[in-house]
Structure 1
Protein backbone atom coordinates (compact mmCIF):
# COMPACT_ATOMS: atom_id res chain seq x y z
CA UNK A 1 0.00 0.00 0.00
CA UNK A 2 1.06 3.46 -0.81
CA UNK A 3 0.64 5.98 1.94
CA UNK A 4 -0.29 9.51 1.01
CA UNK A 5 0.63 12.32 3.26
CA UNK A 6 -1.57 15.42 3.24
CA UNK A 7 0.00 18.61 4.55
CA UNK A 8 -2.77 21.16 4.08
CA UNK A 9 -2.41 24.63 2.56
CA UNK A 10 0.95 25.84 1.52
CA UNK A 11 2.21 29.26 2.42
CA UNK A 12 1.83 30.43 -1.17
CA UNK A 13 -1.86 29.52 -1.22
CA UNK A 14 -2.43 31.50 1.97
CA UNK A 15 -0.61 34.54 0.59
CA UNK A 16 -2.65 34.44 -2.62
CA UNK A 17 -5.87 34.23 -0.62
CA UNK A 18 -4.77 37.24 1.47
CA UNK A 19 -3.96 39.20 -1.70
CA UNK A 20 -7.40 38.49 -3.18
CA UNK A 21 -9.04 39.50 0.11
CA UNK A 22 -7.00 42.73 0.28
CA UNK A 23 -7.96 43.71 -3.28
CA UNK A 24 -11.62 43.05 -2.47
CA UNK A 25 -11.45 45.19 0.67
CA UNK A 26 -9.78 48.04 -1.22
CA UNK A 27 -12.53 47.87 -3.83
CA UNK A 28 -15.20 48.04 -1.12
CA UNK A 29 -13.47 51.03 0.49
CA UNK A 30 -13.33 52.83 -2.85
CA UNK A 31 -16.99 52.08 -3.51
CA UNK A 32 -17.94 53.37 -0.06
CA UNK A 33 -15.98 56.58 -0.60
CA UNK A 34 -17.60 57.19 -3.99
CA UNK A 35 -21.00 56.56 -2.45
CA UNK A 36 -20.36 59.07 0.35
CA UNK A 37 -19.22 61.73 -2.09
CA UNK A 38 -22.24 61.13 -4.33
CA UNK A 39 -24.56 61.42 -1.33
CA UNK A 40 -22.90 64.71 -0.38
CA UNK A 41 -23.44 66.00 -3.93
CA UNK A 42 -27.10 65.02 -3.83
CA UNK A 43 -27.47 66.74 -0.46
CA UNK A 44 -25.97 69.96 -1.84
CA UNK A 45 -28.27 69.87 -4.89
CA UNK A 46 -31.25 69.39 -2.58
CA UNK A 47 -30.18 72.33 -0.42
CA UNK A 48 -29.74 74.51 -3.52
CA UNK A 49 -33.22 73.58 -4.70
CA UNK A 50 -34.83 74.35 -1.35
CA UNK A 51 -33.03 77.67 -1.05
CA UNK A 52 -33.90 78.73 -4.60
CA UNK A 53 -37.58 78.09 -3.91
CA UNK A 54 -37.23 79.91 -0.59
CA UNK A 55 -35.93 82.95 -2.48
CA UNK A 56 -38.91 82.80 -4.85
CA UNK A 57 -41.33 82.71 -1.92
CA UNK A 58 -39.59 85.71 -0.36
CA UNK A 59 -40.07 87.59 -3.64
CA UNK A 60 -43.73 86.59 -3.78
CA UNK A 61 -44.17 87.85 -0.23
CA UNK A 62 -42.87 91.26 -1.28
CA UNK A 63 -44.12 91.28 -4.87
CA UNK A 64 -44.36 95.09 -5.02
CA UNK A 65 -40.54 95.25 -4.88
CA UNK A 66 -39.98 92.11 -6.94
CA UNK A 67 -41.99 93.45 -9.87
CA UNK A 68 -40.18 96.81 -10.01
CA UNK A 69 -38.05 97.44 -13.07
CA UNK A 70 -34.99 97.96 -10.83
CA UNK A 71 -35.88 95.24 -8.36
CA UNK A 72 -33.68 94.92 -5.26
CA UNK A 73 -34.11 91.15 -5.59
CA UNK A 74 -31.77 91.12 -8.62
CA UNK A 75 -28.41 90.15 -7.09
CA UNK A 76 -24.97 88.81 -7.95
CA UNK A 77 -23.24 87.52 -4.81
CA UNK A 78 -19.84 85.84 -4.83
CA UNK A 79 -18.43 83.69 -2.01
CA UNK A 80 -17.41 85.90 0.90
CA UNK A 81 -19.77 88.73 -0.08
CA UNK A 82 -21.15 90.59 2.89
CA UNK A 83 -24.64 92.04 3.02
CA UNK A 84 -25.77 94.82 5.33
CA UNK A 85 -28.41 93.81 7.84
CA UNK A 86 -31.32 96.30 7.68
CA UNK A 87 -32.42 94.88 11.06
CA UNK A 88 -36.15 94.96 10.36
CA UNK A 89 -36.91 92.72 13.32
CA UNK A 90 -35.95 95.25 15.98
CA UNK A 91 -37.37 98.43 14.42
CA UNK A 92 -40.45 99.57 16.27
CA UNK A 93 -41.69 101.62 13.30
CA UNK A 94 -41.34 98.69 10.91
CA UNK A 95 -39.56 98.56 7.58
CA UNK A 96 -40.23 99.91 4.15
CA UNK A 97 -40.77 97.46 1.31
CA UNK A 98 -37.20 98.08 0.10
CA UNK A 99 -35.77 97.43 3.57
CA UNK A 100 -37.84 94.25 3.75
CA UNK A 101 -36.38 93.12 0.42
CA UNK A 102 -32.88 93.79 1.74
CA UNK A 103 -33.71 91.86 4.94
CA UNK A 104 -34.95 88.94 2.82
CA UNK A 105 -31.70 88.92 0.84
CA UNK A 106 -29.57 89.24 3.99
CA UNK A 107 -31.34 86.33 5.70
CA UNK A 108 -31.38 84.18 2.56
CA UNK A 109 -27.67 84.77 1.86
CA UNK A 110 -26.82 83.73 5.41
CA UNK A 111 -28.91 80.56 5.02
CA UNK A 112 -27.23 79.77 1.69
CA UNK A 113 -23.73 80.19 3.12
CA UNK A 114 -24.63 78.00 6.10
CA UNK A 115 -26.08 75.24 3.89
CA UNK A 116 -23.54 75.40 1.03
CA UNK A 117 -20.34 77.12 2.21
CA UNK A 118 -18.46 78.92 -0.53
CA UNK A 119 -21.44 79.07 -2.88
CA UNK A 120 -22.38 81.99 -5.08
CA UNK A 121 -25.77 83.21 -6.27
CA UNK A 122 -27.01 85.19 -9.23
CA UNK A 123 -30.59 86.34 -9.67
CA UNK A 124 -31.50 87.96 -12.98
CA UNK A 125 -34.75 89.36 -14.28
CA UNK A 126 -35.80 88.63 -17.88
CA UNK A 127 -38.90 90.83 -17.94
CA UNK A 128 -41.56 92.12 -15.55
CA UNK A 129 -42.14 88.86 -13.71
CA UNK A 130 -39.60 86.33 -15.04
CA UNK A 131 -36.63 85.55 -12.81
CA UNK A 132 -33.73 83.16 -13.08
CA UNK A 133 -31.95 82.03 -9.92
CA UNK A 134 -28.55 80.34 -10.31
CA UNK A 135 -26.76 78.89 -7.29
CA UNK A 136 -23.19 77.68 -7.93
CA UNK A 137 -20.79 75.69 -5.76
CA UNK A 138 -17.88 73.28 -6.11
CA UNK A 139 -17.75 69.71 -4.90
CA UNK A 140 -15.18 66.95 -5.03
CA UNK A 141 -15.10 64.93 -8.22
CA UNK A 142 -15.75 61.39 -7.00
CA UNK A 143 -16.76 60.06 -10.41
CA UNK A 144 -13.35 60.86 -11.92
CA UNK A 145 -11.47 59.24 -9.01
CA UNK A 146 -9.33 62.33 -8.66
CA UNK A 147 -8.73 64.88 -5.96
CA UNK A 148 -9.99 67.75 -8.12
CA UNK A 149 -13.21 69.69 -7.79
CA UNK A 150 -16.08 70.16 -10.16
CA UNK A 151 -18.31 73.22 -10.53
CA UNK A 152 -22.01 72.57 -9.98
CA UNK A 153 -24.98 74.82 -10.75
CA UNK A 154 -28.63 74.76 -9.85
CA UNK A 155 -30.84 76.95 -12.05
CA UNK A 156 -34.47 77.82 -11.39
CA UNK A 157 -36.56 79.87 -13.81
CA UNK A 158 -39.82 81.16 -12.44
CA UNK A 159 -42.69 83.52 -13.20
CA UNK A 160 -43.97 85.41 -10.17
Structure 2
Protein backbone atom coordinates (compact mmCIF):
# COMPACT_ATOMS: atom_id res chain seq x y z
CA UNK A 1 0.00 0.00 0.00
CA UNK A 2 2.85 2.36 0.75
CA UNK A 3 4.32 1.66 -2.69
CA UNK A 4 1.15 2.85 -4.56
CA UNK A 5 1.09 6.15 -2.65
CA UNK A 6 4.60 7.01 -3.83
CA UNK A 7 3.61 6.45 -7.48
CA UNK A 8 0.73 8.93 -7.27
CA UNK A 9 2.78 11.83 -5.87
CA UNK A 10 2.62 14.94 -8.11
CA UNK A 11 -0.32 13.84 -10.30
CA UNK A 12 -2.57 16.53 -8.79
CA UNK A 13 0.02 19.20 -9.60
CA UNK A 14 0.16 18.10 -13.26
CA UNK A 15 -3.65 18.25 -13.46
CA UNK A 16 -3.59 21.79 -12.05
CA UNK A 17 -0.90 22.85 -14.56
CA UNK A 18 -2.89 21.46 -17.50
CA UNK A 19 -6.01 23.23 -16.23
CA UNK A 20 -4.12 26.53 -15.96
CA UNK A 21 -2.76 26.08 -19.49
CA UNK A 22 -6.23 25.45 -20.95
CA UNK A 23 -7.72 28.36 -19.00
CA UNK A 24 -4.98 30.79 -20.05
CA UNK A 25 -5.38 29.79 -23.70
CA UNK A 26 -9.14 30.36 -23.49
CA UNK A 27 -8.63 33.78 -21.89
CA UNK A 28 -6.14 34.80 -24.59
CA UNK A 29 -8.66 33.79 -27.28
CA UNK A 30 -11.37 35.77 -25.50
CA UNK A 31 -9.13 38.86 -25.39
CA UNK A 32 -8.40 38.53 -29.14
CA UNK A 33 -12.12 38.20 -29.83
CA UNK A 34 -12.84 41.34 -27.82
CA UNK A 35 -10.14 43.28 -29.69
CA UNK A 36 -11.55 42.24 -33.09
CA UNK A 37 -15.04 43.15 -31.91
CA UNK A 38 -13.90 46.67 -31.01
CA UNK A 39 -12.16 47.02 -34.38
CA UNK A 40 -15.27 45.97 -36.30
CA UNK A 41 -17.44 48.28 -34.19
CA UNK A 42 -15.14 51.21 -35.02
CA UNK A 43 -15.27 50.31 -38.71
CA UNK A 44 -19.07 50.19 -38.66
CA UNK A 45 -19.18 53.59 -36.94
CA UNK A 46 -16.96 55.18 -39.61
CA UNK A 47 -19.06 53.67 -42.41
CA UNK A 48 -22.22 55.00 -40.78
CA UNK A 49 -20.69 58.46 -40.52
CA UNK A 50 -19.67 58.33 -44.21
CA UNK A 51 -23.23 57.36 -45.14
CA UNK A 52 -24.66 60.26 -43.14
CA UNK A 53 -22.18 62.73 -44.69
CA UNK A 54 -22.94 61.55 -48.24
CA UNK A 55 -26.69 61.66 -47.66
CA UNK A 56 -26.37 65.15 -46.15
CA UNK A 57 -24.40 66.37 -49.19
CA UNK A 58 -27.05 64.97 -51.57
CA UNK A 59 -29.82 66.65 -49.56
CA UNK A 60 -27.96 69.97 -49.60
CA UNK A 61 -27.70 69.71 -53.39
CA UNK A 62 -31.42 68.89 -53.71
CA UNK A 63 -32.52 71.85 -51.60
CA UNK A 64 -30.03 74.37 -53.07
CA UNK A 65 -30.32 73.41 -56.76
CA UNK A 66 -33.02 74.87 -59.01
CA UNK A 67 -35.79 72.65 -60.34
CA UNK A 68 -34.76 70.31 -63.19
CA UNK A 69 -37.13 72.09 -65.59
CA UNK A 70 -35.21 75.34 -65.00
CA UNK A 71 -32.06 73.80 -66.45
CA UNK A 72 -29.81 75.38 -63.82
CA UNK A 73 -26.58 73.89 -62.59
CA UNK A 74 -26.40 71.70 -59.51
CA UNK A 75 -25.07 73.56 -56.46
CA UNK A 76 -22.42 71.37 -54.83
CA UNK A 77 -21.66 71.65 -51.10
CA UNK A 78 -18.12 71.66 -49.72
CA UNK A 79 -17.75 67.88 -49.42
CA UNK A 80 -14.14 68.09 -48.21
CA UNK A 81 -15.27 70.02 -45.13
CA UNK A 82 -17.87 67.35 -44.41
CA UNK A 83 -15.47 64.46 -45.09
CA UNK A 84 -12.87 66.02 -42.77
CA UNK A 85 -15.00 64.71 -39.90
CA UNK A 86 -13.57 61.25 -40.70
CA UNK A 87 -9.90 60.36 -40.04
CA UNK A 88 -7.98 61.41 -43.16
CA UNK A 89 -11.28 62.02 -44.91
CA UNK A 90 -11.56 63.42 -48.42
CA UNK A 91 -14.59 63.79 -50.64
CA UNK A 92 -15.53 64.22 -54.26
CA UNK A 93 -18.77 65.01 -56.04
CA UNK A 94 -19.36 64.20 -59.72
CA UNK A 95 -22.57 65.23 -61.45
CA UNK A 96 -23.71 64.38 -64.97
CA UNK A 97 -27.24 64.93 -66.25
CA UNK A 98 -28.48 65.64 -62.71
CA UNK A 99 -27.23 62.26 -61.46
CA UNK A 100 -24.65 62.92 -58.76
CA UNK A 101 -22.20 60.57 -57.11
CA UNK A 102 -20.69 61.50 -53.76
CA UNK A 103 -17.47 59.58 -53.00
CA UNK A 104 -15.93 59.75 -49.54
CA UNK A 105 -12.57 58.18 -48.66
CA UNK A 106 -10.99 57.89 -45.24
CA UNK A 107 -8.16 56.10 -43.44
CA UNK A 108 -9.49 53.22 -41.42
CA UNK A 109 -7.23 51.96 -38.63
CA UNK A 110 -6.67 48.25 -39.23
CA UNK A 111 -4.01 45.66 -38.75
CA UNK A 112 -3.83 44.13 -42.21
CA UNK A 113 -1.40 41.47 -43.38
CA UNK A 114 0.99 44.01 -44.89
CA UNK A 115 1.61 45.45 -41.42
CA UNK A 116 0.14 48.85 -42.30
CA UNK A 117 -1.68 50.69 -39.55
CA UNK A 118 -4.26 52.29 -41.88
CA UNK A 119 -6.26 51.16 -44.87
CA UNK A 120 -8.06 53.54 -47.23
CA UNK A 121 -11.78 52.89 -47.48
CA UNK A 122 -14.12 54.50 -50.02
CA UNK A 123 -17.88 54.93 -49.83
CA UNK A 124 -19.89 56.07 -52.87
CA UNK A 125 -23.49 57.28 -52.89
CA UNK A 126 -25.34 57.96 -56.16
CA UNK A 127 -28.64 59.81 -56.50
CA UNK A 128 -30.70 61.77 -59.01
CA UNK A 129 -31.04 65.45 -58.06
Q: TM-score of the superposition, structure 1-length normalised?
A: 0.64
**Structure 1 residue 61: Cα displacement:** 1.1
* Unaligned ranges ≥5, structure 1: 74-103
**Structure 1 residue 15: Cα displacement:** 1.8
Matched, 1:125 2:127: no
Aligned-residue CA RMSD (Å): 2.8
**Structure 1 residue 41: Cα displacement:** 0.6
Higher relative CO (Cα under 8 Å, sequence separation at least 6) belongs to: 1
1:135 to 104, 110, 116: 104
Q: Tell me what 2:56 maps to.
A: 54
Alignment size in residue pairs? 123
Q: TM-score of the superposition, structure 2-length normalised?
A: 0.77
Q: Tell me what 2:121 maps to.
A: 152
CA distance in 1: counterparts of 2:52 and 2:95, whole angstroms: 20
Matched, 1:20 2:22: yes
Greater helix fraction, Structure 1 or Structure 2: 2
